[in-house]
Structure 1
Amino acid sequence: MANESNQDRREFLKASGLLTGGAILGSLPFTAKASGHPGYHFSVNDTIKVALIGCGGRGTGAAQQALSTKQNVQIVAMADAFRDRLDESYQNISNFLTAKNIKSPDGSPKLNVPEDHKFVGFDAYKQAMALADVVILATPPGFRPSHFEEAVRQSKQIFMEKPVATDAPGVRRVLAAAEEAKKKKLNVVVGLQRHYQPSYREMIKRIHDGAIGDIIGGQVYWVSGGVWHKPRKPNQSEMDYQMRNWYYFNWLCGDHINEQHIHNIDVANWVKKGYPVSCQGTGGRQVRNGKDDGEIFDHHIIDFTYADGSTINSQCRHYEGTYSRVDELFLGTKGKIEGMEKKTSSLVGYNGQPIYTYTAKTDISPYQIEHDELFDAIAKGQYKFADAEHGAKSTMTAIMGRMASYSGKTVKWEEALNSQIDLFPTTLAWDAMPKSLPDKDGYYQIAVPGKTIAV
């Protein structure tokens, strides 16, 4: 897929509906040096400077993938709220380059971040971005709207992780910045990597070509055992604690239906070539309900209804020691498909006969493919990727699902998108207080369906 032709890519994007509203495929009508346009290069030996914003596990992984492309990519700046996370990421990237024997064509260091290019704090991202052609945005999702806005303002090429916001005001900011990115012809790739996974591309192209008829229903799943905790330390500020445990607070994460299950919800939107008009569902805290579990639910079950009346059921939960499933099933008028995550997947008729079977021809990770294609486009001076709008709307779909499970109400798309509930703290400082605080016993307030106002 890293070597696929422009025409193949053009046909995929047309089929997938990723690009809308004037996104352009092809070369820019100018050279980087002649135009002064930032971030475009025309030689594999031309250095592409990258700033890593957010130095956790996913940011470190994204940096490693960027450095593993064929282009002469250098990490030249790093930014994080925490110095220890930055230092750990720097060491892990360095170890990775050594282990893989990855070097620049001209012998210069791939990890070229002197001490004065390491920035720490809530505003560190602005300084790091100013030093780069490309930015990797991988902080907790609550910061994504402001970081994306700044990257667009500075005219950077952008890779940003999913989800792209945690509330409706944040989604609206990303949508507005996405329009500016299109005007500036800035490549934007969002880390919904199934859009770059060969099995999903191949199978969904056939679904869109009508191989199993009209999609009339389906199920999408992310049911697993959950994630990490960081124990509270003596005299630790509330802001520091929540930042360290960002997964359990909605202003930072948006709940696991948003941070994790968005992958499967996004596939449903891709298959349906649109976004739900409404949803309803349920959720709560069955097994994960301690002081260290923050304010998020441990399960959500949502029915998303699309404009044609079809419904996709969504399930996500975090229960240790239970059945796990991470995939999607879709039913058409002529047949069904499931297992696109697998090396071999099939479109099957209701008579049991296979309509089409796909077997992966490469073991290249889709995480790598998304960087391969992005940096190839940048090196060639091409504007090919405008993922931000779609990423924002799939994020909004997940947030709408959270609104439905928290409130117990049917939620419509327009009212969800126009919600004025802003989860972000009024002030960002280590001694400032987030909006969600523990009670005298150390427990956070949890949404109660039927009582909580979530829209």
Structure 2
Amino acid sequence: MIKPAIPSAPRPLSRRAFLGDCAALSAIPLLAGLPASVFAAGSDRLKIGLVGCGGRGIGAVRDCIAADPAVQLWALGDIFADRVEAARDLFTKGQPGNRPRPPLDADRNAVTDERCFSGFDAYKGVINSGIDLVILATPPGFRPPHMEAAINAGIHVFAEKPVAVDPAGVRRVIAVGELAKQKKLAIGTGTQRRHTNSFQAIMQRVQDGAIGEITGGQCYWLGGGLWHRGRQPEWTEMEYQIRNWYYFNWLCGDHIVEQHIHNIDVINWAFGGPPVKALGMGGRQWRTDPKYGEIWDHFSVEFEYANGARVASYCRHTKGAASREGERLTGTLGNAEPKRGSITGKNAWTFEGERNQGMVQEHVDLIASVRAGKPINDARRIAESTLTAILGRESAYTGREINYEWMLKASKLDLTPPAYAFGDAPPVKIPVPGETPLV
């Protein structure tokens, strides 16, 4: 039985009340700030909770458990009770088939009925369940308030990318990062390339000058179509949108933000920070069925960095078309392709070691930082990469060139819905360049 974190007849939760509830969690005594001796030799348990029981959340739990013998799954939460039940069943019984997943060992799975939560307040139930670290893997539109609630409650955070869908959310995450520093709490994020040894080796050489000054580059995420879960007659519009969250900007941020952020983050890594401006274009060529909400199917954005270098960013969802995913950096002495692990030109080099699993290593690094009393804090960095993707999206949506600093400091764009309740949902508004306003 899934314990609801809200009444069975849920009250409408206004945006103000939602934010106020998050702030109220700051009164909870600190559960974290874990001493360096904790988890020594795997002898002490690190209790983790999952908020967002979809595929990525389930994968993140398995990655975290694989990272350290001290990790124990303690609590589960999701807006939908059926997702909590499915995740718990998968962790308990495993999954046979072509891609089998073994069940978790009994000593690694401590989830009970009392520590399963559903509803819009499920994240609060998980955070207050006695955990040390929370994995946040809901649709990214929920990430800023969930991160804020966890840090206010003294809980270490692993937040999947991206961490916001609008500038208001980005600013909130930056503030949460500063609070985490004060509380000595860790914030790790799902940017696995930064924890993959081949990427690290290439990027270290780039930063040491192996390709000279970076003069330009490209990044790509060109792929096919995506899942769609359809519509059931008993679903309200809010439930329909959340179950098909990838197609609605208040939840997803469009695929340039939700997916292409991986490549954009690598480009920012190479330049040591975000761009100064962007000019983008794109559209909705085959994703024309109303069921696909409001997101586009292709973007092309030019990002300009502080040294004048321009990087072309391409992302696309088109069935039957060519695929490409990765990054390329051009410098005065050569080129680098981080995903391939190669540098060409004067200082040619190829990574030849065994590549580690970045999606596990990011949890290894997070837990090690807590043990050492030097908690990782990736909040600002992931916020900047998230905002870079949002910058490209808004430039394409509006048809205008936009400065990064304006987007960070002056944009009033806030996609938060007026209420979190199973009823109405934000209206669908397909962006039209030249008509969509810059907010």
Q: 1:306 to 1:46 in 2, by over 3 A?
A: same
Alpha-carbon shift at residue 48 of structure 1 (Å): 0.6
CA shift digits 1:282-340 (9 cap, x unpaired): 010011111111000100000001111111110000000000001001000000012x3
The answer to whether 1:424 aligns with 2:416 is yes
CA 1:233–1:101: 2 relative to 1, 3 Å:
closer
CA–CA distance in structure 2, aligned partners of residues 251 and 292 of structure 1:
16
Residue number among 53, 57, 61 corresponding to 1:55 in the alignment: 53
Instruction: Give the 5 Å matches for 1:39-54.
Output: 39-40=34-35, 41-43=38-40, 44-54=42-52
Q: Which residue of 2 aligns with 1:359?
A: 352
By how many angstroms is 1:54 displaced?
0.6
Supply the distance in 1 between the matched residues of 2:376 and 2:397 (Cα, whole angstroms): 34
- Look up the SS of the partner of 1:288 in the other structure: coil
The sequence identity of aligned pairs, in percent, is: 43
Counterpart residue identity of residue 453, structure 1? P
How is 1:177-196 mapped onto 2 (pairs within 5 angstroms)?
177-196=176-195
2:405 — aligned with what?
A: 414
**CA-CA distance at 1:235 after TM superposition:** 3.6
Verify: 1:73 aligned to 2:66, yes or no. no
Residue in structure 2 matched with residue 122 of structure 1 by the alignment: 120
Query: 1:174 matched to which residue of 2?
Result: 173
Deviations 1:65-92 (A, max 9, x none): 1111233111111110001111111122
2:299 aligned residue = 300
Partners in 2 of 1:83 and 1:46 — Cα distance?
Answer: 31
2:153 aligns with: 154
Deviation digits for residues 381-426 of structure 1, max 9, x if unmatched?
Answer: 4224111110001000000101000000001112212211211111
* Counterpart residue type for residue 372 of structure 1: V
Look up the equivalent residue of 2:210 and give its one-letter code. Answer: A
Output the CA distance in 1 between the equivalents of 2:237 and 2:312.
36
The residue matched to 1:241 in structure 2 has which SS? helix
- The answer on whether the counterparts of 1:217 and 1:332 sit within 8 Å (CA) in structure 2 is yes
For 2:368, the equivalent position in structure 1 comes to 376
Change (3 A) 1:249 1:99: closer
Q: In the superposition, relative to structure 1, how do residues 248 and 126 fare at CA in structure 2: closer, same or farther (>3 Å)? A: same
Counterpart CA distance in 1 for 2:124 and 2:251 is: 19
Secondary structure of 1:230 counterpart = coil
* Residue 95 of structure 1, CA deviation: 3.8
What are structure 2's unaligned runs of at least 5 residues? 1-29
- Mapped to 1, the partners of 2:438 and 2:390 lie a distance apart of 10
Tell me if structure 1 keeps the 8 A contact 2:273–2:384: no
Give, in whole Å, the separation in 2 of the partners of 1:341 and 1:208.
16
* Contact kept? 1:167, 1:423, Cα under 8 Å: yes
Q: Give, in whole Å, the separation in 2 of the partners of 1:369 and 1:454.
A: 39
SS at match of 2:157: strand
CA 1:132–1:434 in 2, change beyond 3 Å: closer, same or farther?
Answer: same
Conserved in 1, the CA contact under 8 Å of 2:143 and 2:164?
yes
Q: TM-score normalised to the size of structure 1?
A: 0.85
2:22 matched residue in structure 1: none
Distance in 1, matches of 2:66 and 2:365, equals 12
Deviating above 3 A after TM superposition, structure 1's stretches of 4 or more consecutive aligned residues are 35-40, 95-103
How far residue 101 of structure 1 moved from its aligned partner, in angstroms, is 7.4
* 2:415 maps to amino acid: L
* Partner in structure 2 of residue 447 of structure 1: 431
Contact 1:346/1:354 (8 A) holds in 2 = no
| More moved, 208-217 vs 365-374 | 365-374
Instruction: Give the deviation of 1:184 after TM superposition.
Output: 1.1
| Cα pair 1:221 1:316 within 8 Å, conserved | yes
Kept in 1: contact 2:211–2:347 (CA 8 A): no
Aligned partners of 1:371, 1:235: CA distance in 2, in Å? Answer: 39
Compute the RMSD of aligned alpha carbons.
1.7
Cα distance between partner residues in 1 of 2:183 and 2:39: 19
How far the C-alpha of 1:111 sits from its partner, in A, is 1.2
CA 1:312/1:80 → structure 2, altered by over 3 Å: closer, same or farther? same
Q: Which runs of 5+ in 1 are unaligned?
A: 1-34, 437-443
Alpha-carbon distance between aligned partners in 1 of 2:251 and 2:142, rounded to the nearest angstrom: 7
**Secondary structure of the corresponding residue to residue 397 of structure 1:** helix
Alpha-carbon contact 1:424-1:434 (below 8 Å) kept: no
Q: Is the 8 A contact 2:298 2:315 kept in 1?
A: yes
Residue equivalent to 1:329: 328
- Report the alpha carbon displacement of residue 96 of structure 1 after superposing the two structures with TM: 4.5
Whether the 8 Å contact between 1:64 and 1:96 is mirrored in structure 2 is no
Q: Which residue of 2 aligns with 1:261?
A: 260
- The 2-side partners of 1:100 and 1:235 are apart by 34
* Residue type of the alignment partner of 1:382: G
Letter in 2 for 1:91: D
Q: Could you tell me how far apart the structure 2 residues matched to 1:373 and 1:289 are?
A: 43
2:77 aligned counterpart, secondary structure: strand
2:290 alignment partner AA:
K
Aligned to 1:88: 86
CA deviation string 1:108-144 (max 9, x = no partner) = 6211111010000111111211220000010000000
Larger deviation, residues 241-250 vs 420-429: 420-429
Whole-Å Cα distance in 1 between the matches of residues 293 and 349 of structure 2? 45
TM-score normalized by the length of structure 2:
0.88
Match of 2:110 in 1: 112
The letter of the residue matching 2:362 is: E
Comparing 266-275 with 87-96, greater Cα deviation is found at 87-96
Count of matched residue pairs = 401
- Distance in 2 of aligned mates of 1:406 and 1:143: 22
2: distance between equivalents of 1:272 and 1:47? Answer: 39
Q: Distance in 1 between matches of 2:287 and 2:103?
A: 43
Is this contact kept in 1: 2:391–2:402, CA < 8 A? yes
C-alpha contact 2:34 2:373 (8 A) present in aligned 1: no
- Residue number in structure 2 paired with 1:281: 280
State the Cα distance separating 1:183 from its structure 2 match.
1.1
Q: Are 2:188 and 2:362, in contact at CA under 8 Å, matched by a contact in 1? A: yes
Q: Is the 8 A contact 2:167 2:413 kept in 1?
A: yes
**Separation in 2, partners of 1:373, 1:95:** 29
Q: Secondary structure at the match of 1:316?
A: strand
C-alpha distance in structure 1 between counterparts of 2:257 and 2:353, whole Å: 28
Contact 1:158-1:189 within 8 A present in 2 as well: yes
2:31 and 2:154 in contact (8 A); partners too: no
